[in-house]
A and B are shown apart, each in its own frame.
Chain A
Amino acid sequence: MSDPTTAAIERRDFDALLGALRRRGYEIVGPRLRDGAIVYDRLHSADELPVGWTDEQEAGRYRLKKRDDEALFGYVVGPHSWKKFLFPPHLRLWRARRNGRGFEVEPEPLPDTKYAFLGVRSCELHAIFVQDRVFLGEKFHDPVYKALRERAFLVAVNCTQAGGTCFCASMNTGPKAQEGFDLALTEVIEGKGEGGRHYFVVEVGSERGIDVLRDVPHREAHPDEVARAEARVKQAEKQMGRALDTHGIKELLYRNLEHPRWDEVAQRCLSCANCTMVCPTCFCSTVEDVTDLQGEAAERVRRWDSCFSLEFSYIHGGSLRQSVKARYRQWMTHKLATWLDQFGTSGCVGCGRCITWCPVGIDITEEVRAIRASDGARANRGGEGGQPR
């Protein structure tokens, strides 16, 4: 892989990038505006992007607002993440047919889709790396994930503004995309009207990226342009309204499994599972075995699941995590602590989705802060004063 080179692409030539990808057989997916949110779906031209739109996000709040420019990527992340493509929400694993007293199993052929992800934010890039460690692990590989992942072309986009709930800076996952992409773009808009300029500074990250770039009208980026691009990304970094202190967080949570904060958050949490659905790294799934009406044909389907559901921990006799407290604790300690022991990285990339999409606005950064602030507290034991030991 050659050293990353920097180039510049003019706004008017942006569609050539899509064309170049399409000609190479890629199915392009990227941000689109639908039902009042920016979601990821098929893209055919630059006009289909949420041009001139931005999002306003806060805990439990997501609104779209018109910008005063025509930026293609002037927003951050919405309820979708790229996991919906690499780790499909519904996936048939195999089919089976009765055969005398036995049955024959027919595995599903592996998907051969070549996705091109257009507009992958740095936090999302890291989320993909996190899921790589899950599905391409030490012992077992998920063949579907592997097939899709190997083929996927990643066009990263560096954020030039922080979202309302973002905290990638404190998680070391952004806002600048560092590696693992094929191409990385930073959108620059200077001035308005006739004198205005609208271009993209492009960083190449792989051989595939070089190959695609050849097919797109581009030029070497001027040092000023590069500087401007970097300044905008730096600005996004400074804008972050939240931070998660990850110092010793694993040990912190391991020693506070009985902290009264869990009871407190459980009073607010609806166990609606939104956070797990929007989180780009959550990977829990379940399988369903179904048959046709005659009982002659059966199939197994994998679908997304959430540790917030009561059935998730069911074994004969009952569910092991009956209380909402236990389930919230499971989610948060998995995301921030046990994930480290399991996969060597945090499960959280600081994208803020769980905060935005929580109907009651639970903020994972606040929960960590609260536990840190009273590290070692135990739930009230009763008696005089109820002092923590």
Chain B
Amino acid sequence: MNPHEAIAVAKTRADVWEAPMVPRPWRVVRVRRETPDTKTLELEPAEPLNFAFRPGQFNMLYVFGVGEVPISISGDPQNPQGLVHTVRAVGAVTRALCSLKRGDVVGVRGPFGSAWPVDEAEGSDVVIVAGGIGLAPLRPALYRVLANRGKYGNVALLYGARTPQDLLYRRELERWRGRFDLQVEVTVDAAGEGWYGHVGVVTKLIPRAEFDPDEAVALVCGPEIMMRFAVKALHERGVSLDNIYISMERNMKCAVGFCGHCQFGPQFICKDGPVFRFREIEGFFRVREI
């Protein structure tokens, strides 16, 4: 296309976002301590606002004067105005987010990114494999599946964390475990007294879970190395790489594909991801330091 024409076309497209670079204010309604270094924030809009998201998407959260970070949305997509974010304090901004109190205001830009294939997975078994804080971006997918339980086959949640003290959403996990139509298996890397559950890597739970590998869609999220082993274990069990989805993480500054930081091979994690079908990124996933 002639460059002059390209500009003319750019002027007329109404569906294109004029890059959302300005955060909108949301108020903290509730802060829940999940683990010693992780909090879940529940937010409501501080000004009238239409907000909707799909499971797997993320927001950029801004703390006044401190900075902005990408955090996946971990609430119920059917209740988007009750925005939920689970944050682990690992740096200046996340530490500031974890220090927020009820009534404080947070800047939100979003939602951004690709979503878990919860619609496409209808009719299949669903295996959710979560490691550590990876359960946070998967929870909305599980909510969505449970809200439409009849449309799915066997559903299993396999969750691994460091120690029993690091388990997220403990009470909810126990509630889910109580259902008759959901398998929930939890494992930790190490445990002291009082833990009667599994101890071992989360991949060990995969061979035992009840699902048909030929009819299953797997959603995997956690540290990259955990995803690597989980994909391997799922594949060994017979799940096709076309049916395994992972969520990637990279440094992000803009979330709209301009700053270049989140590139992973040809993919921009912020707009082509963070959720990817494994087959799509298989080649680059195996390259070190890419």
Contact = CB atoms under 8 A, between A and B. Distances in A.
Does chain A touch chain B in the assembled complex, meaning CB atoms less than 8 Å apart? yes
A96 B290 CA distance: 36
A103 B105 contact: yes
A298 to B, nearest CB: 4
A338 B265 contact: yes
Interface string B1-43: 0111011001100001111011111010000000000000000
Contacts of B94: 316
Given A134-B258, A254-B283, A142 B249 contact: no
B64 interface: yes
Contacts of B66: 289
A1 B4 contact: yes
**Majority DSSP secondary structure for residues of B touching A:** loop
A141 B290 contact: no
Contact of A285 (B4, B22, B46, B254): B254
Interface stretch (A221-229, A321-329, A348-356, A362-370): A321-329
A328 B63 CA distance: 34
Contacts of A312: 251, 261
Contact of B289 (A128, A140, A179, A323): A323
A125 B19 CA distance: 24
A305 interface: yes
Interface stretch (A143-151, A162-170, A196-204): A143-151
Given A289-B68, A338-B263, A141 B90 contact: no
Nearest to A326: B289
A314 B249 CA distance: 11
Nearest to A100: B105
Contact of B104 (A94, A101, A141, A298): A101
Contacts of B21: 93-94, 107, 300
B214 to A, nearest CB: 31
B129 to A, nearest CB: 21
Contacts of B68: 287, 289, 300
A286 interface: yes
Contact of A289 (B11, B22, B62): B62
Contacts of A88: none
Contact of B257 (A137, A317, A320, A338): A137
Which of A102, A136, A316, A334 has the most B CB atoms < 10 Å from its CB?
A102
A14 interface: no
A149 to B, nearest CB: 7
A298 B67 CA distance: 10
Contacts of B11: 146, 150
B65 A338 contact: no
B141 interface: no
B290 A326 contact: yes
A311 to B, nearest CB: 8
Nearest to B91: A316
Given A102-B105, A287-B254, A323-B289, A342 B266 contact: yes
Nearest to B27: A102
B85 to A, nearest CB: 16
A257 interface: yes
A258 B283 CA distance: 12
Contact of B251 (A105, A313, A330): A313
Interface string B98-125: 0000011101000000000000000000
15 contacts: A101-B103, A102-B46, A105-B25, A129-B3, A136-B6, A139-B16, A140-B16, A140-B271, A141-B17, A180-B4, A285-B254, A286-B253, A287-B68, A291-B64, A338-B266
Given A134-B258, A283-B258, 12 more contacts: A94-B22, A105-B25, A141-B16, A141-B17, A146-B10, A286-B261, A305-B261, A312-B261, A322-B289, A326-B288, A326-B290, A338-B265
Interface of A: 1, 93-94, 96, 98, 101-105, 107, 128-129, 132-143, 146, 149-150, 179-180, 206, 254, 257-258, 283-287, 289-291, 295, 298, 300, 305, 307, 312-317, 320-323, 325-326, 330, 334, 337-338, 341-342
